[in-house]
Amino acid sequence: MENGEIPEDANEHCPGPQSESAGKSDACEGCPNQQICATAPKGPDPDLVSIAERMATVKHKILVLSGKGGVGKSTFSAQLSFALAAMGFQVGLLDIDICGPSIPKMLGLEGQEIHQSNLGWSPVYVESNLGVMSIGFMIPHPDEAVIWRGPRKNGLIKQFLKDVYWGELDFLVVDAPPGTSDEHISIVQCLDVAGIDGAIIVTTPQQVSLIDVRKEVSFCKKVGVKVLGVVENMSGLCQPIRDFKFMKMTDTGEQRDVTEWVWEYLTEKAPEMLNLIACSEVFDSSRGGAAKMCTEMGVPFLGKVPLDPQLCKAAEEGRSCFVGKECVVSAPALKKIIEKLMEVQGLSMVAENGA
C-alpha cells in the first residue's frame, strides 16, 4: 500500500493516490479522482509519525479479533488483560469498537470519564497497572447511538493511538469490533509503523462463526498480521445439575415448571444425581469446530472455553474471573490459553524476563 489504497472507481493502471505521478500519469486521464489525486498532499501521513512515537513505549501490541460478533471477544480481551495485569505486567486495553463499546462495562468502569493532561488523554485505570481507553468513556448518554460512518470512526482510532498517554506498557491489548472493515484496516495501517505482535481470533464452535473466522484469518494474511492463535469460546455449557430448572411439557404444548417436584423426586429416588454436572454441547461441533479449522488453515489453536454462567456474570459485573468468586469451569480453561499464548514465539521471552 506504499502508493496509497487504490480507489474502487479508479482507472486501470492507477499509480496509487500517494504516488508521485498521482493524477498526472497517462492512466489518470479521465479518472474521476484525477483532480483530487493531483492536488492532495503526498508523502507519509504525519499522524503515523506521532503514532510511532507514542507506541515506542509499548513493548507488545496484540489485536483481539473475531469474524462474527457476540462470540465473547470483549469478554476474552477483558479477562486476558486482567490476567496479564495479575501477572505483574503493565497492561493497556484499547477498545476500538466505536459503535458498540462493551469494555467499560466489562471492567466495571461505567460512568468513568477520560481526563486530559499535557501528556495527552489519560486512560481510565482499573488497577495501577491496567489502563483502559474506550469511546464508552466519551459519550455523555450511554443509551445514545454513535451513528458514525467509516471516516469518522477511523479518525477516532487514529486519535486513540496518537493522543492517549499510556506510559510504559508491556502489553497493549486492542479489542476490535467484529468483521473486516474500516476499524480493522485503520488499526492495522496505523499500528503497522510501530509493529503488531499478532492477532488472537475468538470464535464459537458454530459453522456460521467458523466461516467468518476463516475470513478473519484471510484478512490477517492479506494485511500481514501474524495469527497468534484461535480461541474457541462458548464451547458447550457445563453447570452443576442443582443450578438447572426443570420443565414438563403439558398435553397442550405449554411448559410447566416442575423444579421443586424434581428435587423431592430425585432426593427420594435417585440422590446420586444431585452432585453431577450436566453438559450440553449447545452448538453442534460434530464437524470438528475451531481445532479442525486451525489445522486446515495452518494457524495455532489456543484452546476452548466453555459457556460458563459464572463467567458471564463476572463479565456483567466487570470483575476478573480469576479472583474472589473464581469461575470454577472457565477460569482454568482461560489460564491454559494464556499460558499457551505466552509460549507462542515472541511472547515467551517477556514471560520469562518478567515485567
Q: Between residues 56 and 145, which has the closer beta carbon with respect to its own copies?
A: 145
Residue 131 φ/ψ, nearest 5 degrees:
-105, 150
Q: Provide the 3-class DSSP secondary structure of residue 5.
A: coil
Beta carbons of 112 and 87 less than 8 angstroms apart: no
Q: Pick the stretch among 19-27, 87-95, 217-225, 319-327 that binds its own copies (CB under 8 A).
A: 217-225
Q: Between residues 60 and 319, which has the closer beta carbon with respect to its own copies?
A: 319
Hey, which residues between 256 and 315 contact its own copies (CB under 8 A)?
A: 258, 262, 265-266, 269-270, 272-273, 275-284, 297, 307, 309, 312-313, 315
Note whether 239 binds its own copies by CB under 8 A: yes
Beta carbons of 64 and 174 less than 8 angstroms apart: yes
Could you say which of 119, 247, 274, 323 contacts its own copies (CB under 8 A)?
247
Note whether 250 binds its own copies by CB under 8 A: no
Q: Which residues have CB under 8 Å from 120's CB, separation 6+? A: 54, 163, 164, 165
Fill in the per-residue mask, 4 to 43: x = in contact with its own copies (CB under 8 A), - = not in contact: ----x-----------------------------------
How many Å apart are CA 244 and CA 273, to the nearest integer?
A: 12
Q: Between residues 42 and 287, which has the closer beta carbon with respect to its own copies?
A: 287
Beta strands (DSSP E) in 91-197 are: 91-95, 115-117, 120-122, 124-127, 130-134, 169-175
Q: Between residues 38 and 99, which has the closer beta carbon with respect to its own copies?
A: 99
Hey, which residues between 43 and 72 contact its own copies (CB under 8 A)?
A: 67-71
Q: Provide the 3-class DSSP secondary structure of residue 147.
A: coil
Q: What burial class does residue 156 get, using C-beta atoms within 10 Å of its C-beta: 0-12 exposed, 13-18 middle, 19+ buried?
A: middle
CB of 250 to its own copies, least distance (A): 11
Hey, which residues between 139 and 198 contact its own copies (CB under 8 A)?
A: 142-153, 155, 177-182, 184-185
Note whether 339 binds its own copies by CB under 8 A: no
* Residue 308 to residues 3, 168, 312, 339, 348, Cα–Cα distance (Å): 48, 34, 6, 20, 29
Residue from 225, 211, 234, 201 nearest 330 by CA: 234
Q: Pick the stretch among 53-61, 81-89, 115-123, 213-221 that binds its own copies (CB under 8 A).
A: 213-221
Q: Between residues 107 and 164, which has the closer beta carbon with respect to its own copies?
A: 107
Hey, which residues between 103 and 132 contact its own copies (CB under 8 A)?
A: 105-106
Which string of b and e fits 262-301 if b means at least 16 CB within 10 Å? beeebeeeeeeeeeeeeeeeebebeeebbbebbeeeebbb
Could you say which of 99, 119, 138, 274 contacts its own copies (CB under 8 A)?
99
Q: Between residues 150 and 195, which has the closer beta carbon with respect to its own copies?
A: 150
Q: Between residues 58 and 290, which has the closer beta carbon with respect to its own copies?
A: 290
With CB under 8 A as the rule, give the number of residues binding its own copies: 89
Note whether 212 binds its own copies by CB under 8 A: yes
